[in-house]
Amino acid sequence: MFFDTREGLALALPAAIFALLLFIAPVGILLSEAFQSDNGWTLQGYIDFFAKPLNRTVFLRTLKLGILVAGTAAVIGYAAAFCIVNLSASARGRVFGLVVLPLMISPVARTYAWIVILGRTGIVNDTIVGLGLSDTPIRLLFTETAVFLGLLQLFMPLMIISLVSAMENIPRDVIPAARVLGANWFQVFFKVILPLTKEGLVVGGTLVFTGALTAYITPAILGGSKVLMLETLLYQRVNVANDFVSASVIAMILIVMSFSANLLLKRIATARK
């Protein structure tokens, strides 16, 4: 408890200076490059970026995969979270530990595991050929499917954690009450569970969508240069072409997409009240 606001400000000042000097200022300078030209401020960097078909394709692919990963994580996450909150306390702890476990493993190791699983001699192709579904192994690596699976596995724990946290706050007798009053499971989910867990969905959705947009290792390893996403394109522009203007444009687009997703999800959650 502070005696006056000056004490509070004084305590916050070191952290504020740190953030200003080492984060906000450098990021601001970097991002402002995309708005500068020899003749002053301009949006030409953005016009040039979206004028190129490859950039438009990469932008739309990133958006599509971000939405698909967040949407699929939400569907699977709700089912998993519902199961977890209905387990006994000891079982819940163990299962929750399993959900969190992948977050403790390096994304590089997790992504390389997918190379082994999805490769021509991997378990998926062995099963497909073994069941006679195809005569030869099918191409799974370096496709959008591979990137989607990698991103989903990478970020789904964040969605499950957010939804479990939200579901634990639902009073235990609400769902049985809805069922007694004649609601089917479809109605229970949309009329009871979803409205009561929307905050968890907003948090989980934002984390998963933003994570999928900004992930680098997974798209780089599982997609390569054939499935470019904005983050891998950004790296390419900086490290191959030394083109910081395009890189700044991409960084700004990623920031805008992340904030927009958060605002949109909050708006949807609020509208359902």
Partner 1 sequence: MKTTISLAVLSCALATNAFAQDKTLTISVYSFAQDAYKEALYDPFEEICGCDLVVETGNSVERMAKIEANANDPIIDMAVISSHDALSLARKDLVAALDVSKLSNHAKLYPAAQDPIGGNRAVGYTFYASSIVYRTDLVEINSWADLLNEKLAGNVSLPNITGTQGPLTLMMLAKAAGNDSTDYSSVISSIGEHADDIVTFYSRSSELAQLMNQEEVIAAPVGRFAWSRFKSSPLPFAWAEPAEGQAGGMNVMIMTKGNGNEELAYQFMDYWLSTEVQTRVAEALIDSPANTEVIVSDDVADNLTYGAELINSLSILDPAEIINNRETWVEQWNTEVIK
Q: Give the residue with the Cβ less far from partner 1, 102 or 119.
A: 119
Buried b (16+ CB within 10 A) or exposed e, 235-251: bbbbeeeeeebbbbbbb
What are the backbone angles phi and psi of residue 41, rounded to the nearest 5°? -75, 145
Q: Give the residue with the Cβ less far from partner 1, 125 or 206.
A: 125
Place of tokens 């910081």: 244
Q: Give the residue with the Cβ less far from partner 1, 86 or 225.
A: 225
Q: Give the residue with the Cβ less far from partner 1, 206 or 236.
A: 236
Q: Give the residue with the Cβ less far from partner 1, 117 or 183.
A: 117
Of the candidates 203, 211, 197, 213, the residue with the CA atom closest to the CA atom of residue 262: 203
Cα separation values, 267 from 106, 198, 261, Å: 34, 11, 10
Q: How far is the CB of 53 from partner 1 (least distance, A)?
A: 6
Q: How far is the CB of 232 from partner 1 (least distance, A)?
A: 11
Contacts of 23 (CB under 8 A, 6+ apart): none
CA distance 188 to 22: 48
Q: How far is the CB of 114 from partner 1 (least distance, A)?
A: 12
Q: How far is the CB of 180 from partner 1 (least distance, A)?
A: 56
Residues making up the chain, counted from first to last: 273
Query: What is the contact surface with partner 1 in residues (CB under 8 A)?
Result: 52-54, 57, 115-116, 119-121, 139, 141-142, 224-226, 228, 236, 238-242
CA distance 263 to 252: 16
Q: How far is the CB of 226 from partner 1 (least distance, A)?
A: 6
